[in-house]
Amino acid sequence: MKISTLTHKHGGKILSLDAVGHSTDSGRASWEFTGRVKWDDGTESPAASIPPFCLCAENSAVNPELSIALAKLNTYLRSVGAWRNGEWTSEKAEFSTPFDLIN
């Protein structure tokens, strides 16, 4: 998904979000997007790991790109795991899905 309005919390412009996934370590899950980022120093990462808390938008309440990204994250999480006792538990230890395959 091509991005034009989101920036990265650590300094850079997010150019695309290509997948959403997760990994687990000692039973704790980390959720992340994979995408292209052009960093403030001019370098570019073609497959950067972007945690959801690093997505930044000028007007986040009405930003459609942010809304779509978080909706796809929610759909992904519901498809590969479940909330139990206030914690998300995955059926798979590590997994990733391309953005265009998430409805």
The 10s digit of each residue's pLDDT in 70-92 is: 999 989 888 888 877 777 877 77
CA dist., res. 63 & res. 5, Å (int): 8
Tell me if 74 is assigned to some domain. Answer: yes
Q: What is the dihedral of CA 18, 53, 60, 69, to 10 degrees?
A: 30
Tell me if 1 is assigned to some domain. Answer: no
> What is the CA angle 53-20-29, rounded to 5?
65
Total domains in the fold of the chain: 1
pTM of the model: 0.83
State the residue range of the domain holding 64.
6-101
Q: What is the per-residue pLDDT across 15-68, written as a single tens digit (0 to 9) for each? A: 999 999 988 777 678 889 999 999 999 999 999 999 999 999 988 888 999 999
* Residue 27 dihedral angles phi and psi, to the nearest 5°: 85, -5
- Cα–Cα distances (Å) from 3 to 8, 35, 86, in that order, read 12, 10, 32
Tell me if 33 is assigned to some domain. Answer: yes
* Residue 62 dihedral angles phi and psi, to the nearest 5°: -125, 20
